[in-house]
Amino acid sequence: MSSPILPPVRTLPPSGTTQRIGLFGGSFNPPHSGHLHVAETALKRLQLDWIYWLPARGNPLKDKPADFYDRVHAVRELIGHHPRMFVSDFEHWAGVRYTVDVLGAFMRHSPTARFVWLMGADSLMNFHDWKAWQSVAENIPICVVSRPEAGPRALRSPYARRYAGVRLPERNAARLPFLAPPAWVFLKAPFDRTSSTQLRTDAQKW
């Protein structure tokens, strides 16, 4: 049975904000400590004011995920009462599906915000398969956080090769929200080996 639909914690940032905001999208099927590790690393190293978690309604590159609001509630449970993280049901509420459309809506609503897109290195490996991926890359700075067994391959991905010239040195990561895109940084961090795939596999064994 699906969870009851509850009001979102927050849907969009204030329209006139100038704060540094990380947008963390994904299936979160289910969300886990590895996702939280990516968010906490970016929050600290980029000196962000807020992170908005954006569960996707679906992912054309993956199997059909669990019920949308089940995943929204699971993210809420994962981040608890973190004072600088929110989960948003924007994709469901706005009827959009692709990252490029989500970004467009956020940027139109909060044109003076300093947005950064957050992702784990495992997502960077297939970033070039996303719809309008070059438009995403050229409209928002991107922060990539290392994930187990994904670092070297991620850094050989089409995105990493195409935008190698605008990769920010890791020591300057806090500058990323202030840079005009395309711009990106790769953050090395202690690994959390938890994965959604493994969690789903383990759940099926019971």
Domain ranges for the chain: 20-204
Q: What is the pLDDT of residue 66?
A: 87
Q: What is the pLDDT of residue 57?
A: 87
Q: Are 57 and 94 in contact (CB under 8 A)?
A: no
DSSP 138-171: TTS-EEEE--TTTHHHHTTSHHHHHTGGGEEPGG
Beta strands in 12-130 (DSSP E): 20-26, 50-55, 85-87, 114-120
| Residues in the chain with pLDDT values less than 50 | 1, 196-206
Q: What is the pLDDT of residue 200?
A: 32
Looking at residue 189, the DSSP 8-state letter turns out to be -
Q: Say whether 99 sits in a helix, a strand or coil.
A: helix
- Give the amino acid at 179: L
Q: What is the pLDDT of residue 7?
A: 53
Q: What is the pLDDT of residue 10?
A: 63
For 139-153, write each residue's pLDDT tens digit.
Answer: 999 999 998 878 788
Q: What is the pLDDT of residue 196?
A: 40
Euclidean distance between CA atoms 205 and 98, whole angstroms: 32
Q: Which CATH superfamily is domain 20-204 in?
A: HUPs (3.40.50.620)
Dihedral of CA atoms 187, 191, 196, 197 in degrees, nearest 10, equals 110
Q: What is the pLDDT of residue 147?
A: 86
